Amino acid sequence: MSMENAWITYRSMTRDRSIRAKSVNRALIKRILGYGRPYRFFITAFLITLVFTSLLSVAQPLLFRRIIDQGISVGDARVVTVTAILIAFIAILDSGLGLVARWFSSRIGEGLIYDLRTEVYSHVLNQSVAFFTRAQTGALISRLNSDVIGAQQAFTSTLGGVLGNLIALVIVLITMFILSWQVTLVSLLLVPLFILPARWMGRRLQGMTRESMQLNSDMSVQMSERFNVAGALLVKLFGRPADESANFAGRAVQVRDIGVKMAMANRWFFTALTLVAALATAITYGLGGNLVISGLLTLGTLLALVGLLAQLYGPLTALSNVRVEVMTALVSFERVFEILDLPPLVREAPGAHPVAPGPLGVKFVDVWFQYPAASQVSLASLESVAREDSDSAGVDVVRGMSFEVLPGSLTALVGPSGAGKTTISALVNRLYDVTDGAVLVGDADVRALQLQSLHDAVGTVTQDAHLFHDTIRANLLYAKPDATEVEMLEACRSAQIADLIGTLPAGFDTVVGDRGYRLSGGEKQRIALARLLPKAPRIVILDEATAHLDSESEVAVQLALDSALIGRTSIVIAHRLSTIRRADQILVVVDGQIVERGTHDELLSVMGAYFDLYEAQFSEQSMPG
């Protein structure tokens, strides 16, 4: 048996047979075929090449028979020469068809991978923020890699393998029966002896394969969590490198041990297949040799049967597991479709219109909001631990809130942690949709606006400014890819970061590192602000942009903010109350409700919740440190 057939047998035997219980879904099949429709020419051509390849594989043993029986045995040099040339030509043609089949297969497979990956990637990016707060990043990446590749194998490996093996089996059996029905029947009687040991070893390999995949996954998770900047920093700060190394060594030794077991099991597996194939060959020679001696069979026919026998058992074994092959491919498609069938929580309404030109205000009209339940935004299979919500889902986070931010004015939101301030800002740029009531930008409900137009009009700087692991230039251009060098430089001057960039050897081409860790907190915040300015948003939301900065960085960022907010409608979530004294209105939020509103001086004179917050913060700042 050839190594190629041995590998086909091995792969089919190590498939997870737990999926046997699944039934074929016709709707799923129809949907899958839809993805293959753009490649129907390539699929048809691929299948035609498989037919010709199978015919050529049978032609070679028959030509060997001819060269022996009609050439060598009778001393006909012409037959020997012509047949040898024909064998060489068929070998070349077979190699060429193999290359052609591989090109068609890769064209189909890589095309499907591209189609599925881009579709899944785009669909995931269009999910709401709530989706990303629950879904495990590694699980999403797995869908884009392992499952997408598994799905494309339905059209390449599975389709080609099943049809190719079926065609080859039929042609080989017909040819063998024509040559000698006695030898063919004996060969078929040995099939159980060939398949049963392989299945027994296959079950062992399945279990070890699953265990190996899990152990490797656990090891990869530890590496990914410790090798990023935040993880490595935490390990060093708590003095745990030795403990982490010991923990990793424990995982690695398990991977090593299961690898040794699998290597030996694989060797036993291939040894068993080789022995059984050798036994079948020996019996064929024994029976066929006697038939040759008795004159019932020619020597060339015997050698042709032996050649055909090598092509018989691989397809037979693979086809005995065809259901497992097919269902494995279908499971991968199901996992991909599971992502594609999850509708985004926030979707653009049919007939949505762009944001109106000119200055914009923001208005909340009796707004109520609850965070969505897990079943609405995510999939249990994408979470490391699937569980029911036990926190804010089903609880009103914003309760009956009404207020107005006039165009060009500054409104500050203050209050204790968890009061709902960040949630309020997320409703403005429609990261979430309100449960009841309405949020208006200009005079339009945000749910009636085009999402791109809304995000162009509203700019946000968060408390933890995220920078991609790229250059300063690339991060600055993210908000406005067509921004000129002059615009970037002007934005950096307004954000009080131009002088720092000028001192860097690579300037704008300086790489900021993972999540911008090569920069200080204040520098990251100012670059994030500079990134926003060329976009020229008419509404700016600042979510505690100076909360965790030192005094020097806070002063620099505050200067940048004062410059950036001129002439813009602004909503500022402030932890440090000293930064919002000049606000046109201050809203004090407690438990999702506005309990006080007014200017800084007005609220202090009331001596209510704002006064208590201000006094408490002032006292903390006055305490000796």
Domain holding 409: CATH number?
Answer: 3.40.50.300
Report which of residues 74 and 559 the model is more confident about.
74
Residue 8 pLDDT > 70:
no
Same domain, 174 and 124: yes
Confidence bin at 459 (pLDDT 50/70/90): confident
- Is residue 173 within 8 A of residue 184, CB to CB? The reply is yes
**CA 621/CA 625 separation, integer angstroms:** 9
Does 380 score more than 70 pLDDT?
no
Count of CB atoms within 10 A of residue 148's CB? 24
How much of the chain exceeds pLDDT 70, in percent?
Answer: 80
**How many CB atoms sit inside 10 A of residue 533's CB?**
25
465-476 residue pLDDT tens: 788 888 999 999
**Does residue 409 sit within a domain?**
yes
Integer distance in angstroms from the first to the last C-alpha of the chain?
A: 80
Q: Across residues 246-253, what is the average pLDDT? A: 89
- Same structural domain for residues 323 and 367? no
- pLDDT, tens digit, for every residue of 517-533? 788 877 888 888 888 88
Residue 235: give its domain's CATH number.
Answer: 1.20.1560.10
Query: Could you tell me if residue 347 is inside a domain?
Result: no
261 and 199 inside one domain:
yes
What is the pLDDT, as a whole number, of residue 2? Answer: 47
Q: Which residue has the tokens 């204040």?
A: 522
326 part of a folded domain? yes
Q: Domain for residue 357, yes or no?
A: no
Same structural domain, 466 and 321: no
105 domain-assigned? yes
What distance in Å separates the CA atoms of residue 572 and residue 557, rounded to the nearest whole number?
14
Average pLDDT rounded to a whole number, residues 450-454: 91
HEC-encoded secondary structure of 459-506: EEECCCCCCCCCEHHHHHCCCCCCCCHHHHHHHHHHCCCHHHHHHCCC
| DSSP H helices in 352-407 | 374-377
Higher pLDDT, 501 or 225: 501
The verdict on 367 and 318 lying in the same domain is no
| 481 and 450 in a common domain | yes
H or E element at residue 590: strand 585-590
Q: Does residue 248 register a pLDDT over 80?
A: yes
Which residue has better confidence, 400 or 148?
Answer: 400
The answer on 323 and 371 residing in a single domain is no
More confident residue, 39 or 133: 39
Whether 352 is in a domain gets the answer no
Which of 45-54, 205-214, 563-572 has the weakest average pLDDT?
205-214
- Is the pTM value of this prediction over 0.75? no
Helices (H), 143-190: 148-152, 159-179, 181-189
- Do 301 and 157 share a structural domain? yes
* Confidence tier at 622 by pLDDT (50, 70, 90): very low
Q: Is residue 110 in some structural domain?
A: yes
Q: How many domains does the chain have?
A: 2
Q: Kindly state whether residues 404 and 486 are assigned to the same domain.
A: yes
Calpha distance 305→586 (Å, rounded): 92
Do 427 and 328 share a structural domain? no
The answer to whether residues 56 and 108 belong to one domain is yes
Claim to verify: residue 367 and residue 309 sit in the same structural domain: no
356 occurs within a structural domain: no
Alpha-carbon distance values, 607 to 231, 415, 523 (Å): 45, 15, 37
Name the residue range of residue 588's domain. Answer: 362-377+395-622
